[in-house]
Amino acid sequence: MKIISYNVNGIRAAVTKGLATWLSAADPDVLCLQEIKAQEDQVDKLLFSELGYPYQYWFPAEKKGYSGVAILSKTLPKKVVVGTGIASMDREGRNLRADFEDFSVMSMYLPSGTSDDRLAFKLNYMDEFYAYALQLRKEVPNLIVCGDYNICHEPIDIHDPVRLKNVSGFLPVEREWLSKFMDSGFVDSFRYLNPTVQQYSWWSYRQNAREKNLGWRLDYHMVSNPLKDKIKRAVILQEAKHSDHCPVLLEV
């Protein structure tokens, strides 16, 4: 089973940049999208059906042109859960889960903390999601939480850990939360198979950051411990350039 997670920074813009051609070649079984920035009726769903994804689940934010997640699948899930039931998260369209026969996949878009009020929102989201995930795994032990976490975990995951140590995305409190989340029963699949590889999944649009590889690794497939031995491959697909992020791939 091949699962790809991709923050597309606007699904309509990504399509104009060749997303469909890339998706046809990449051919995942499940595609988790973040930051779709579109309402469901603004998405060309027929395009994705023709690419082999008849089962499409879209969870936009209430605010138009903002946030939102989706899951596209070749096979019919047993169950799909939209949101978490936590109003602050669900208004912004940040969590969507599909349950398959042997495992469940969640597409998650964790907030960024680019201003004081959004950092407070992010930290609150992190606390509430941690408690939610703890409870969820009692019901769904074989869980993969993929998406844009908006956090670099370790110095190897960011191009300038010294200068950026006080910037949201690499704050001690954020990194500690990610450690706590993993300690609760998840493994970072990319780092599990690539303990010393320094690769990134997001680059600023400014200062030619992507060309200079001044990046951050913000996108993860977090795999619950019961599935750890099923991880076959975990790759960052840096050649895909439809967004300021690139896709990340997991095979289980």
DSSP letters, 147-215, are EE-----SGGGBS-TTTTTTSTTS-HHHHHHHHHHHHTTEEEHHHHH-TT----SEE-SSTTHHHHT-E
Answer yes or no: are the C-beta atoms of 145 and 222 closer than 8 Å.
Answer: yes
Facing residues of 107 across strands? 96, 146
Q: How many CB atoms lie within 10 A of CB 239?
A: 8
Q: What pLDDT tens digit does each residue of the chain (252 aa) get?
A: 999 999 999 999 999 999 999 999 999 999 999 999 999 999 999 999 999 999 999 999 999 999 999 999 999 999 999 999 999 999 999 999 999 999 999 999 999 998 889 999 999 999 999 999 999 999 999 999 999 999 999 999 999 999 999 999 999 999 999 999 999 999 999 999 999 999 999 999 999 999 999 999 999 999 999 999 999 999 999 999 999 999 999 999
Query: In the numeric block, which tokens belong to residue 206?
Result: 């400014």
Q: How far apart are CA 2 and CA 73, in angstroms?
A: 11
pLDDT of the residue at 218: 98
Would you state the pLDDT for residue 133? 98
CB–CB of 91/61 below 8 Å?
yes
Instruction: Enumerate the active-site residues.
Output: 148
Find the CATH number of the domain harbouring 137: 3.60.10.10
- pTM higher than 0.75, yes or no? yes
Residues in the chain: 252
How high is the pLDDT of residue 115? 87
Integer Cα distance of 111 and 225 in angstroms:
25
The residues, any chain, with a CB within 8 Å of residue 140's CB and separated by 6 or more, are 97, 99, 104
- Judged by DSSP in three states, 113 sits in coil
Structural domains of the chain, count: 1
Number of other residues whose CB lies within 10 A of the CB of residue 204: 12
Range of the domain at 167: 2-251
Whole-Å CA distances, 180 to 7, 118, 176, 187: 24, 21, 6, 11
